[in-house]
């Protein structure tokens, strides 16, 4: 995971039961803020249809060297029956937009087209609509399918734990990488289907995270981290990609994925505590359409966590095709599991010398490999299939190399009627 601004080494976090209880702190630990994975930059671009347009219009956008392109259409307003497609040059990937766009506000971030060229085409027989402008584009600097380091390649993340400074690195792969293609575990199909790769715009960048459909008051509610998406403007740019995974265990053929637009932000809780609020690091978004009908949903539980519970960490590490953290290491002899519960994690911002903390006793630590882009992944109980935590922190313990997540009982209590949480 990508480290945040942390002390001299990378950061410092204290893992305490409750500092207000007895004033004593446990040994300090690394808490590497996982962060969303930056995958590109927003760059200026100028093109527009006639206003009003009188018929069809076509424009090719090439951003030299781009791994992918996203096109930003502004002032988007089409006559009834007209539509715009944003496509790859060979037409193998194409997305359609009508009216005033999916958010009905005239502002459209088209879904990603792999490669350096995207074709924007207005389809109209009679014209009469306002048209649109292309204000800027997203130039992808990270391939949306970057691949993973093979077992035969040198990987500094696979150094023995004792040799790693302070027991951890920002990537948070402990010892050897135990993650596998999700296809290696067909028994987890119902758990993995609701999990999506998230591609979105924030400020001047393109970012990747993980999110999942959760049982809630509103159909197709998506959960991810607040440090991934925290505002409505970010949610409006969201492309949630379901089914982005390899079809076979260890294979290279990709399944057919489906992209869904972001929608209304229902609730969010900041990563760190501010006064008496926040510190749970989650966001709930009602997606457009009905992806839940196709991909299903996961149910969170408020049942108390127990150390030693086996878990499945379903994720899109590095923005790659879907993986699962099922084993702790490549030898597949040790299961991913809950190690600590009811923790409070602290983070010192060395640039401002300020102390941040999560909500008190809201966190769990677990032994399972993650990477930038894994933020927002569900931590699924290995026996019941219910979600027990939301992954969001890296290297919360430098000696045992744990990752950290917010316990679902805390999120359920905070979200209230927006979530349908089980008790078992």
Provide the pLDDT for residue 129. Answer: 97
pLDDT at residue 30 above 50?
no
Among the listed ranges 107-116, 185-194, 284-293, 332-341, which one has the minimum average pLDDT value?
332-341
Does residue 262 surpass a pLDDT of 80?
A: yes
Boundaries of every domain in the chain:
13-34+172-418, 40-140
pLDDT exceeds 80 at position 15 = no
Q: What pLDDT is attached to residue 398?
A: 65
Which among 354, 185, 182, 380 is positioned nearest to 274, based on CA atoms?
354
pLDDT at 375: 93
Give me the pLDDT at residue 10, please: 28
Q: Is the pLDDT of residue 369 over 90?
A: no
Q: How far is CA 292 from the centre of its chain?
A: 18
Q: How many residues does the chain have?
A: 424
| Residue 171: pLDDT over 60 | no
How do residues 283-307 score in pLDDT, each as one tens digit? Answer: 999 999 999 999 999 999 999 999 9
Looking at residue 145, its pLDDT comes to 60
Cis peptide before 182 (omega within 30 of 0): no
Mean pLDDT taken over the chain: 85
Global pTM reads 0.86
Among the listed residues 329, 334, 321, 336, the one whose alpha carbon sits nearest the alpha carbon of residue 405:
336
User: Of 134-148, 165-179, 296-310, 322-336, where does mean pLDDT reach its minimum?
Assistant: 165-179
Which is more confident, 416 or 424? Answer: 416
Query: What average pLDDT does this structure show over 208-229?
Result: 97
Token digits of residue 146: 């970057």
The 3 state secondary structure assigned to the chain is CCCCCCCCCCCCEEEECCHHHHCCCCCEECCECCCCEEEEEEEEEEEECCCCCCCCEEEEEECCCCCEEEEEEEEEECCCCCEEEEECCCCCCEEEEECCCCCCCCCEECCCEECCEEEEEEECCCCCCCEEEEEEEEEECCCCCCCCCCCCCCCHHHCCHHHCHHHCCCCCCCCCCCCEEHHHCHHHHHHHCCEEEEEEEECCEEEEEEEEEECECCCCEEEECCCCCCCHHHHCCCEEEECCCECCCCCCCECCCEEEECCEEEEEECCCEECCEECCCEEEEECCCCHHHHHCCECEECCCCCCCCEEEEEECHHHCCCEEECECCCCCCCECEEEEEEEEEEEEECCCCEEEECCCCCEEEEECCCCCCCCCCEEEECCCCCEEEEEEEEEEECCCCEEEEEEHHHHHHHHHHHECCECC
pLDDT class for 353, splitting at 50, 70, 90?
confident
- Is the pLDDT score of 4 beyond 80? no
Q: How many alpha carbons fall within 13 Å on the CB side of residue 183?
A: 14
The arithmetic mean of pLDDT across residues 363-388, rounded, is: 93
- Is domain 40-140 in CATH 3.40.50.620, yes or no? no
Residue 172, pLDDT score? 57
Overall average pLDDT of the 404-420 stretch: 97
- Tell whether the torsion through CA atoms of 394, 395, 396 and 402 is positive or negative: positive
pLDDT at 421: 98
Tokens of 5: 């601004």
Average pLDDT of the segment spanning 191-209: 97
pLDDT, average across residues 82-98: 97
Q: Cα 206 to chain center, whole Å? A: 12
Between the CA of residue 238 and those of 131, 155, 313, what are the distances in Å? 23, 32, 22
Residue 156 has pLDDT above 70, yes or no: no
Would you state the pLDDT for residue 18? 32
Q: Are 89 and 24 in contact (CB under 8 A)?
A: no
**φ, ψ at 169 (rounded to 5°):** -130, 165
**What is the rounded distance in angstroms from the CA atom of residue 249 to the CA atom of residue 251?**
5
183 confidence band (pLDDT: 50, 70, 90):
very high
- pLDDT on residue 151: 26
Q: What is the pLDDT of residue 159?
A: 30
pLDDT at 267 over 60: yes
User: How confident is residue 394, by pLDDT bands cut at 50, 70 and 90?
Assistant: confident
User: Between residues 129 and 154, which one has the greater pLDDT?
Assistant: 129
Most confident listed range (24-38, 170-184, 275-289, 334-348): 275-289
Return the closest-CA partner of residue 364 out of 408, 324, 400. 408
233-237, 349-353, 398-402: range with highest mean pLDDT: 233-237
Q: For domain 13-34+172-418, give the fold.
A: Thrombin, subunit H (2.40.10)
Please, what's the largest Cα pairwise distance for the chain? 75
Question: Six-digit token pair at 116?
Answer: 């350096």
């Amino acid at each position: 995971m990508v480290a945040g601004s942390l002390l001299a080494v990378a950061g410092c976090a204290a893992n305490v039961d409750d500092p207000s209880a007895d004033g004593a702190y446990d040994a300090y630990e690394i808490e590497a803020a996982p962060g969303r994975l930056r995958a590109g930059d927003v760059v200026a671009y100028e093109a527009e249809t006639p206003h009003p347009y009188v018929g069809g219009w076509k424009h090719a956008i090439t951003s030299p060297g781009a791994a992918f392109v996203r096109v930003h259409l502004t002032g988007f307003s089409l006559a009834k029956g007209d539509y715009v497609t944003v496509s790859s040059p060979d037409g193998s990937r194409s997305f359609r937009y009508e009216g005033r766009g999916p958010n009905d506000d005239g502002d459209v971030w088209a879904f990603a087209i792999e490669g350096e060229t995207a074709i924007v085409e207005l389809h109209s027989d009679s014209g009469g609509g306002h048209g649109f402008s292309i204000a800027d584009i997203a130039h992808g600097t990270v391939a949306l399918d970057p691949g993973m380091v093979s077992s035969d390649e040198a990987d500094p993340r696979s150094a023995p734990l004792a040799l790693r400074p302070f027991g951890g690195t920002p990537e948070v792969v402990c010892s050897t990488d135990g993650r596998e293609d999700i296809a290696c575990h067909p028994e987890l199909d119902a758990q993995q289907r609701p999990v999506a790769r998230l591609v979105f715009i924030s400020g001047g960048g393109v970012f990747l995270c993980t999110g999942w459909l959760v049982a809630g008051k509103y159909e197709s509610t998506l959960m991810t981290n607040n440090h991934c998406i925290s505002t409505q403007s970010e949610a409006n740019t969201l492309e949630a990609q379901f089914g982005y995974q390899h079809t076979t265990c260890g294979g290279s053929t990709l399944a057919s994925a489906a992209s869904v637009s972001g929608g209304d932000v229902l609730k969010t809780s900041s990563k760190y505590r501010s006064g008496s609020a926040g510190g749970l690091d989650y966001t709930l978004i009602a997606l457009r359409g009905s992806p839940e009908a196709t991909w299903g949903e996961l149910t969170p539980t408020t049942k108390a966590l127990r150390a030693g519970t086996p878990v499945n960490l379903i994720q899109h590490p590095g923005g790659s095709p879907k993986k699962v953290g099922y084993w702790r290491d490549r030898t597949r002899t040790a299961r991913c599991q809950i190690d600590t519960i009811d923790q409070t994690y602290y983070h010192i911002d060395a640039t401002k010398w300020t102390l941040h903390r999560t909500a008190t006793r809201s966190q769990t630590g677990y032994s399972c490999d993650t990477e930038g882009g894994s933020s927002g992944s569900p931590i699924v109980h290995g026996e019941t299939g219910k979600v027990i935590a939301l992954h969001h922190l890296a290297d919360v313990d430098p000696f045992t190399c744990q990752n950290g997540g917010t316990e679902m009982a805390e999120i359920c209590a905070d979200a209230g009627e927006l979530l349908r949480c089980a008790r078992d």
